[in-house]
Amino acid sequence: MNVRGTQKTPHNSVSSVLDEIFDNPGTRTYVMGVINVTPDSFSDGGLYFSEDAALAGAATLSEEGADILDIGAESSRPGAQPLTFEEERKRLFPLLDRIVERVAKPLSIDTYKTEVARMALGAGVSIVNDITALRGDPEMGELVANARCPVVLMHMLGAPATMQDNPVYRSVVDDLCSFFEERIAYAESLGINRIIVDPGIGFGKTLEHNLEIIRNLSKFRQFGRPVLIGVSRKTFIGKILGTPVHDRLEGTAAAVTVSIMNGVDIVRVHDVKEMVRVARVTDAILGRGRH
């Protein structure tokens, strides 16, 4: 396995999806399917914890129409404690090698640890999804720049263990825009060009903060970068509907629809088949996409 920070050459189908996202923004909505190789993630913890289950899950989500698969081994649910590098490595390898061989879709590694990202890129992963926006590990930015891979910069207030302890903003949308202005400038200073912004729904935000962000997603388009959002089964939906995590499909569909109409490019979801349909119909109403 290559762990020196260079990427395997991606399949043509992988390259074409990434080129379309960055070179032809607004063409359609892209669906990112979630594979959590964890025993404790808030929604699907344990579902993909075994290697065979994760491999089968990745194949299923790909067949259901996911454009990208986002794979992570450390839970970032509210209150979660950090995972050691060694445990994260054990959960991901050789799983990632097997998924790359089986699924011809862009893969994203959900990690803030440089060495985990380095190994994932060496295995053939295409995107680094960093919930700390390159703040968690001082060497991550250099790795992404050298690998010349896309990066997701997500906003999070604090850390997962404490992020929901009374989050306060002067103005949540303005504060997030200032955050992205600084983080994008930092990434660009390192030579990183392919940047995706994610406002981090539920990561240090109250119900009202989350709703305000979704209402104003169009403001994040000012950076000229693809916008990603993860609303799938989130707590704010449960608070509105009074439903447990596995009974939030309709709420997720509503949040995904509004997010697309307000300008997001990528939706990160657990229920891929259903949200592919939601995205396709919403794109048709907006006069874009393939339908």
Question: Active-site residue numbers?
Answer: 234, 268
Token pair for 178 = 């200032």
Rounded-to-integer distance, Cα 94 and Cα 2, Å: 12
Rounded-to-integer distance, Cα 256 and Cα 279, Å: 8
99 contact partners, CB below 8 Å, separation of at least 6 = 54, 55, 58, 69, 71, 107
